[in-house]
């Protein structure tokens, strides 16, 4: 399950918007929102891009993308 609140907090803390995040991933915002709300999954490549661009720690990555 995706942890939306933690993801939004980190995106904001790093000075990005969700529009910036969608652009990083090469997807439109509606696709990003579907992924964030569990209607589709983030790909391995998308998670890697976000880890690198947002400087996510291993723990943050686990908590955001793989929360129970």
Q: What is the pLDDT of residue 48?
A: 97
The tokens describing 4, both together, are 């939306």
Sign for the pseudo-dihedral over CA of 25, 42, 58, 62: positive
Would the pLDDT of 67 be above 90? no
With tokens 């908590």, the residue in question is 63
CA distances in angstroms from 28 to 17, 32, 34, 36, 52, listed in the order given:
13, 7, 10, 13, 20
Q: What is the pLDDT of residue 1?
A: 84
Tens of pLDDT, residues 12-38 = 999 999 999 999 999 999 999 999 999
Domain ranges of the chain: 4-66
Tens of pLDDT, residues 39-66 = 999 999 999 999 999 999 999 999 999 9
Its CATH architecture, for the domain 4-66, is Orthogonal Bundle (1.10)
């Amino acid at each position: 399950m995706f942890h939306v609140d933690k993801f939004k907090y980190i995106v904001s803390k790093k000075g990005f918007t969700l529009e910036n995040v969608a652009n990083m991933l090469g997807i439109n915002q509606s696709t990003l929102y579907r992924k964030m709300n569990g209607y589709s999954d983030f790909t391995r490549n998308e998670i890697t891009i976000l880890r690198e661009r947002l400087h996510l720690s291993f723990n943050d990555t686990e908590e955001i993308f793989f929360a129970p």
